[in-house]
Amino acid sequence: MEEPEEINVRELMEYHGYSGSSGVIKFYFLYAVNWILQTMAKVCPHFGISVKLQRMRGVKIGKHVFLGSGVHLDDLYPELITIEDYVGIGMGTMVFAHSNPTCSQYLKTNYYPREVKPVTVKRGAWIAPGSIILAGITIGENSVVGAGSVVMKNVEPNTVVIGCPARVLKKLE
């Protein structure tokens, strides 16, 4: 029976189209580069440099985007995150393009297989500090995600959501 760690490596290798020993080396090199760029972006004192570092990882980021310190964009699938123009993302926010119960083979095989889905933050949205955006979510144009919110469902355009899980507070006119 395949161990959970082996399943994770196999799934990542398949996603990237890698195989064999050379594929493992390529994957870990890619992961190391992503980790270095992510770490630099999270601690960088200038948001413009953070944006450039995240773009180098493969995150699609538009113009006039603010990334606060400590913003964490998915380690394994940065290319599945799109942040459109005029977006602000507050410090300590986490955006995930995947979910995976890494070590529980029971949960992974019976209930929660790896889920990999793109995330989009539309033009003019503001995500306040400490929020968590889960895989497959779209944050609508000119929407606001309140501080510390956990977004588990799409957010309609011109909407303010707050809480855990995030729920609609009001519509913006």
Find, among 93, 89, 96, the residue nearest to 117 by Cα.
96
Please say if the pLDDT value at position 3 is more than 90. Answer: no
Find, among 72, 119, 112, the residue nearest to 93 by Cα.
72
pLDDT for position 109: 81
Give tens-digit pLDDT for 79-122.
999 999 999 999 999 999 999 877 788 888 888 888 999 999 99
Q: CA-based angle 172:142:79, to the nearest 5?
A: 150
Give tens-digit pLDDT for 19-50.
999 998 999 999 999 999 999 999 998 999 99
Please state the pTM of the whole predicted model: 0.94
- Give me the domains of the chain, ranges plus CATH numbers: 4-171 (2.160.10.10)
Give tens-digit pLDDT for 53-82.
999 999 999 999 999 999 999 999 999 999
DSSP 12-44: HHHHHT--HHHHHHHHHHHHHHHHHHHHHHHH-
**Bond into 165 cis (ω within 30):** yes
